[in-house]
Structure 1
Amino acid sequence: MEEHPYSDVLKLHRRRRCCRPGVLTALLALMMTALWAGLLTLLLLWRWDTVQNLKQLEDTAALNISQVSKDLERYKGDQMAGRSQEAQALQTMEEIQAEQRRMKDQDSELSQDLDGLREDLTNLKSQGLNERRAALTSLEKLQEEVSKLWVELRVANARTPKVTPGKMLPPTLLTVPLVPTTMSTTVPATAPATAPTLVSTTAVPLSLSSTPGSMCDTCPEEWVSFQRKCYYFGEGAKRWIQARYACSDLHGRLVSIHSQEEQDFLAKYVNKKGSWIGLRDLNIEGEFVWMDGSTLDYSNWRPGEPNNGGEGEDCVMMLGFGQWNDAFCNTHLEGWMCERLATC
């Protein structure tokens, strides 16, 4: 049997057709293997990189935790130090407050002592002024008596008969050495040794105007003279006790009014909003006493006053129109009146 000339080609073609699916399968398997290998490699690389990052994060976290621990310990130390400083500050504050309370107590005691001393000083000044006033009054009375005595002496000398030699003189007044005079003594040459000495004088009898101290009207600057006293009219808001000490600083005291003439004089200078005067009933309610220690012997109360309104009006003010009113001692008045004795 004769073979076909193309039989070999056909066989080869058939053989190729039979081998092509296996090759494709192998190639596909190879590609899949390579793909999986690549994926596995990438996965391994990703895992390694992740592990490295995790290690870095772990190291960083450890460092941060260590730093945070240190910061926390430092913060706790600072907090403890702050608490200690706070406790020390509180203790210091308590000590300061205790010292302030002690100083306030001492200040209160010193203020009381100072007020007592000022009160005693004021009383001494008032007593001295009263004694001086009493002495001046006594001196004036004595001067009047001396003046009367001199008048009687001049009358007696005028009626004395002339002296003749060998004749005894009748009894007459002797020389009074209390008052300075211009004297001429006339004694007869033949008069007995036991005869009293006669005096003829040309002296003028003393009067209050010529007696030392009777016309003392000299006052310091800005003080006003009236009836042998000096008056100062202060201005500026003050309470009664402040006005009292202001007068004391000026070597005076709040005014004491004992006559209508003095009241009329002071009413000319009273502040329109009222002025403090030296009358008060601080010790016994209703028993008003002047700064000179005298009781109320003259008054010019406003109708209905004093009424102790509010149960605490213990100091007296002169209203702008001159009448008096009892008021609270802590009230700030714009005016206050001081007095002191005039000098010669």
Structure 2
Amino acid sequence: MEPEAKWNGSSDQVEFSRMSPRSQGFTKLPGQKTCGKSVLLFTFVLLISAALWGTLLFLFITRYQEIVQDLGKLRESCVYHNDSGILTVIGQLQETQLNLKTNVPQLSKTLNKLQEDQTTLKSKASQFSQQLNRFEEDGTAFRSQVLNEKNTATQAREKLQEEIQKLWIEFQRANGSICTKCPENWQVFQKKCYFFGKEPKTWAQAKYACINLQGRLVSIKSREEQVFLNRNANKKGSWIGLRDLDIEGIFLWMDGSSLNYTNWGRGEPNNQGQGEDCVAMRGTSGLWNDANCRGQQDSWICEKLATC
């Protein structure tokens, strides 16, 4: 069906009052306009991004070139200055090396001399050490000799005093005097006084305790004297003045006399253990027993002459 034409009075212009369905197919839709705007916006963003990346790339390349130039200048400067310093140091080291090479023979001679001196000093030190040891040995022997001589002189003096005292007592007896006087706490028996100590002591302590009492550890010379002592002594054991400190097996009394009467227990003296050089009297039996001088006995017996 053909469309109807409407004339507006002009022959040149014709106005269609009604459009056909085919002519309506050329009309623009609203969705097509929105899609075009999105494409334009996306294109604009791409252009802006490209511009930004191009700018950044340009700045990076420019800065890189500046950095390369600065590094080149710095490298040239460092190389120049370092070469000069290194050459100076190398020259000094070479000079030092030359000096060392020159001084090596002298240093070697000095070292050898020091080693020789060290060997000599070691030898002299060894000799001095040997001499010092000899001096110490001689000094020890001399001190021992002096002590022995002093001990001998002391014993000789004590013996002489005792003999003088005995003679004086005999002289007084001859004149009718009675010589039985003893100090307080001492007991008299056959012209001698006896003190029975009651404190535990070593043999040396007992010896000096008797000396402080102006006496000495007892010397037992007869069976009668032994019976008297056994009757009055401590029943646990007492030191007496017998010892073999100077020569093993040679027992002597404190007055220097040898044995003329003995009262050894069975199997004694036996010098057991680390050495038994001093003699004690057993309490109940009164038998003698050699014992360690550093050990203690519960009692000790002193003696001295009775006065007139």
| TM-score computed with the length of structure 1 as normaliser | 0.48
Aligned to 2:37: 20
CA gap of 1:109–1:333, structure 2 versus 1, over 3 A, is farther
CA gap of 1:14–1:127, structure 2 versus 1, over 3 A, is closer
| 8 Å Cα contact 1:218/1:343 also seen in 2 | yes
SS of the residue aligned with 2:232? coil
Partner residue of 1:252 out of 215, 234, 237? 215
SS of the residue aligned with 1:136? helix
Partner residue of 2:154 out of 95, 118, 121? 121
Aligned to 2:266: 303
| 8 Å Cα contact 2:169/2:307 also seen in 1 | no
Larger proportion of helix: 2
Aligned to 1:131: 164
Question: Within 5 Å, which residues of 2 pair with 1:74-93?
Answer: none
| Residue 242 of structure 2 is aligned to residue 279 of structure 1 | yes
Aligned to 1:337: 301
SS of the residue aligned with 1:126? helix
| Residue 276 of structure 2 is aligned to residue 313 of structure 1 | yes
**Unmatched 5+ stretches in structure 2:** 1-12, 55-137
CA gap of 1:26–1:107, structure 2 versus 1, over 3 A, is farther
SS of the residue aligned with 1:131? helix
CA gap of 1:304–1:20, structure 2 versus 1, over 3 A, is closer
CA gap of 1:262–1:18, structure 2 versus 1, over 3 A, is closer
SS of the residue aligned with 1:295? coil
| 8 Å Cα contact 2:169/2:179 also seen in 1 | no
1:315 is displaced (CA, Å) by 2.1
SS of the residue aligned with 2:188? strand
Q: Percent same amino acid among aligned pairs?
A: 46
| Residue 201 of structure 2 is aligned to residue 238 of structure 1 | yes
Question: Within 5 Å, which residues of 2 pair with 1:60-209?
Answer: 117=150, 120-137=153-170, 140=173, 143=174
| TM-score computed with the length of structure 2 as normaliser | 0.52
| 8 Å Cα contact 1:127/1:292 also seen in 2 | no
Counterparts of 2:258 and 2:170 in 1: how far apart (Å)?
18
CA gap of 1:266–1:131, structure 2 versus 1, over 3 A, is same
- Which is bigger in relative contact order (C-alpha 8 A, separation at least 6)? 2
Partner residue of 2:182 out of 215, 218, 224? 218
1:239 is displaced (CA, Å) by 2.7
Residues paired across the two proteins, number: 211
**Unmatched 5+ stretches in structure 1:** 38-104, 144-205
1:262 is displaced (CA, Å) by 1.9
Counterparts of 2:139 and 2:148 in 1: how far apart (Å)?
14
Counterparts of 1:298 and 1:231 in 2: how far apart (Å)?
19
Q: CA RMSD in A?
A: 4.5
Counterparts of 1:35 and 1:287 in 2: how far apart (Å)?
125
Counterparts of 1:275 and 1:252 in 2: how far apart (Å)?
16
